[in-house]
Copies of this chain bind each other. A is one copy, B any other.
Amino acid sequence: MTSIPSHTPQYMWIKAQLLQRIQSGALKKGDKLPSERELCTIFNTTRTTIRESLSQMEANGLIWRSDRRGWFVAPERLWLDPTQNTNFHQLSREQGREPQTTLLSGTLTTVPVEAVEALQLHPFDQIYLLTRLRSVDGRAVCYCENHCLPARVPELLSHDLNGSLTEVYETHYKLIYTSMHLSFYPTAMPAQAAQPLGVMEGRPALLLRRLNYDQYGRVLDLDIEYWRHDSLRIEVDTH
Contact = CB atoms under 8 A, between A and B. Distances in A.
Contacts of A213: 239
A183 B203 CA distance: 23
Interface residues of A, number: 38
A203 B237 contact: no
Interface in A43-80: 48, 56-57, 59-61, 77, 79
Nearest to A85: B238
Interface of A: 12, 15, 48, 56-57, 59-61, 77, 79, 82-83, 179-188, 201-204, 206, 213, 229-230, 232-239
Contacts of A201: 12
Copies in the complex: 2
Contacts of A203: 56, 59
Contacts of A187: 59-61
